[in-house]
Chains A and B, each alone.
Chain A
């Protein structure tokens, strides 16, 4: 019986292993492959025109708030807006008869450890909305002053230190205790509260604060309301002290455009100077063979390192709609070149000699007729220091702006 069982086992194993060995495999056959139609090729485009255009500066999305003058560029005002927090409107605490307000504080934060009283700005308050973070420019505040605003005075300075007594932040704190009634209007439940900052004297003071874009609440401009309330049980009365925080909803530094600083013979890119550049290269869908694939495409612009900041982040965005009026002296309220944005919007840091950015996605889609060829605009990243700038070196013969393309053609 055992012998029969063993024979069957051997037979089944033989069949099973034989079938397993009958697999399909396709290791490559080596050949010269002369018939392969895919070929690599290159294209270099050097006929590139660059021109500056000016847009009134708006740095509402910058992670910092700036006040004062630096590099001859003036930021005369800071505005901070506070709306009603949702879902609980903490401003209602100010009108709550069941609680006792201990104190109200307005705070802003700075990374500057050298702040002194002389560089403290004045804080003003208005129960109204005065700016739009995305669109407001100096033009909206050309003859502006704070006479109708409530003057909240100057702050006190508190340095935040870690356990090892290392400096973390400087905190500027204003006491609003005396102005409690100004922050609440029983007739207007949807009150917008705007705080403004300005140096009392027009000297060369300059401070840099964190804006609400800088981080998640910890360093945002904020109002803290400290209060206490009583809870009465059958035989005991509990006294509880607590606080509520109301964060900035939007904030902006207003920068005064100073065109005297712009050398019109050179190409400058700067947020503070409102300088942007339009780059036009004669690229069209016919430039590369039909059906080609762009393996890499880089726009390389030489930088004037003597005047420019290194590691200055520039953004390149292909132009979708051109509504400019071709007047180089015109100053636009809004950028006249509507751009495509993602995925064509690319940013990169400048080096000491060039600004190189990949335009592979754009060139490929230009070949596919998905985008037009109106050129690119180059703007400074919103988080760059608006008082710094970068300058392109385009007039010299040594290094010319170039687009270098490596592509695969069929």
Chain B
């Protein structure tokens, strides 16, 4: 009976009436690194170790502390609900794949692939417009849809230069594409659509440092800047009447107007410096006891990009972002025989202030995060689960949004690149 109740609880919980995040409609979309938890292994923090003692999957400085090569895969599920909407929206995706190779406890290299931003949004006009023309009236409503996003492929490494100091760097290759559809819907005739395709390329670079002041206190820092700010190849197709209603300019069953073969699609227009982010991150970790750590992170993110050159669904972008985080982490005890001591637990709180570019209005987010990890087998394979709950307040519209995220990670450890003795 208990399990049946649990089943109903799970289904009800995941199907809670929730809608997509408005932040997907700003700029190049909702940046994954600032949208909930990075992945389940990290909890709220990025630089401070929370995967294993002394190790953060997202901080190259700490990779040298791994005893084995790790392959970590994380899957995330995000849901958000606006207070004035009953619409149901959810999104799930592979949130991170990392492959980390520690070399002789002093050096480490790693690769990772993860979404950089999520641009999926569907915006509809609040009101139906009435257009009078030649003694006739046309009822219209506008709609904007955007799909796709930007992926991030990171290559990084670190080197311990002394017992106290470690430096690292990471290159972040940005790539991807999205589709932007702007639609006028008519009550008595086919919709008019204009499709725009964006292809993204960019290169960011980040420098890391880690400073061990003493056994109890560690400092971490990160400075990220664009080597090649995100540029976008924009391909705007001509406007068409979507007679067959499939949002593609084609003539499969019914012919769209004008005939697709009668229009000339212009060349791609390459726009530079659309997304130009700079990020500073500073973190402090304090050891409470042999297993417990308390940590804080302060992030300032600025985007100096020029979004006036492209179409943006919500007609705004994030220009500045301030984050403060506090997390308590309790690691597993490898020597203990108790089952409960195999678990890693993380609990954190976060305050985020987003400043929008055009209106200079703010979005305030308060959130909590709760995560668990389970370490198993001799190598230290690990499964992590994280739940994130946040409340966003949009100051200009007084909209409130509840954001939730579930992350599940599996990390597999093994001895790689070790010469085996010939039998």
Instruction: Give every chain A residue within 8 A of B92 (Cβ-Cβ).
Output: 22-24
Are A30 and B126 closer than 8 Å at their CB atoms? yes
A21 touches B239 (CB 8 A): no
Check if B7 sits within 8 Å of A13, measured CB to CB. yes
Which one of B133, B142, B194, B263 lies within 8 Å of A368 (CB-CB)? B263
For the complex, give the distance between the alpha carbons of A30 and B142 in Å. Answer: 10
Q: Does B207 touch A at the CB level, under 8 Å?
A: no
Tell which of B10, B89, B91, B125 touches A30, judged by Cβ atoms closer than 8 Å: B125
Q: What per-residue 1/0 map shows which CB atoms of A29-59 lie under 8 Å from chain B?
A: 1111111111010101000000000000000
Contact in complex: B122, A27 (CB < 8 Å): yes
Q: Kindly state the interface size class of chain B when it binds its partner.
A: 35 or more
Contact yes or no, B122 A35, CB < 8 A: no
**A14 is an interface residue with CB less than 8 A from chain B:** yes
Q: Scan residues 333-374 of chain A and give those whose CB is less than 8 A from a CB of chain B.
A: 360-361, 364-365, 368, 370
Q: Which residues of A contact B10 (CB under 8 A)?
A: 14, 17-18, 21
Q: A410 near B: Cβ within 8 Å?
A: yes
Is B337 close to A, CB under 8 A? no
Contact string against A for B residues 230-266, beta-carbon threshold 8 Å, 1 for contact and 0 otherwise: 0000000011110000000000000001100011100
CB-contacts of A347-406 with B (<8 A):
360-361, 364-365, 368, 370, 404, 406
Residue A28 is within 8 A (CB to CB) of chain B in the complex: yes
Task: Answer whether residue B109 sits at the interface, using C-beta atoms and an 8 A cutoff.
Answer: no
Given contacts A17-B7, A26-B20, A30-B85, contact A408 B184 (CB under 8 A): yes
- Complex CA–CA separation, A11 to B121 (angstroms): 34
Return chain A residues, CB-CB under 8 Å to B125.
30-33, 36
Q: Is the CB of A29 within 8 A of B85?
A: yes
**Taking CB as reference atom, which chain A residue is nearest B19?**
A27
Give CA–CA (A197, B306) in the complex, Å: 82
Which chain B residues lie closer than 8 Å to A21 at the CB level? 10-11, 14-15
- The total of chain A residues at the interface (CB under 8 A) is 42
Interface residues as binary, A290-304 with B (CB distance below 8 Å gives 1, 0 otherwise): 011101000000000
Q: Enumerate B209-248 residues with CB–CB distance to A below 8 Å.
A: 238-241
Contact A22–B77 (Cβ < 8 Å): yes
Closest residue of chain B to A364 (Cβ to Cβ) is B258
User: What are the residues of chain B within 8 A of A291 when measuring CB–CB?
Assistant: 238-239
Confirm or deny: A10 has a beta carbon within 8 angstroms of a beta carbon on chain B.
Answer: yes
Q: Are B7 and A295 in contact (CB under 8 A)?
A: no
Q: Which residues of A contact B238 (CB under 8 A)?
A: 291, 293, 368
Taking the complex as formed, is A145 at the interface, i.e. its CB lies under 8 A from any CB of chain B?
no
Contact of A23 among B3, B90, B144 (CB under 8 A): B90
A364 adjacent to B257 (CB under 8 Å) = yes
Across the interface, do A27 and B89 meet the contact criterion of CB distance under 8 Å? yes
Of B120, B138, B143, the residue contacting A40 (CB under 8 A) is B138
The verdict on B88 contacting chain A, using a C-beta distance below 8 Å, is yes
Query: CB-nearest residue of chain A relative to B84?
Result: A30
Residues of A141-159 whose CB lies within 8 A of B: none
Judge whether A365 and B134 touch: CB under 8 Å.
Answer: no
Assembly CA distance A37 to B313 (angstroms): 11
Task: Using CB atoms and an 8 Å cutoff, list the residues of chain B in contact with chain A.
Answer: 3-4, 6-7, 10-11, 14-15, 19-20, 22, 25, 77, 82, 84-85, 87-92, 120-126, 131, 133-134, 138, 140, 142-144, 182-184, 189, 192, 194, 238-241, 257-258, 262-264, 311-315
25 interchain pairs (CB within 8 A)? A10-B4, A10-B7, A14-B3, A17-B7, A21-B14, A22-B77, A22-B92, A25-B90, A26-B89, A26-B121, A27-B87, A27-B122, A29-B25, A30-B84, A33-B144, A35-B315, A37-B311, A42-B133, A293-B238, A361-B258, A368-B258, A368-B262, A368-B264, A406-B133, A410-B194
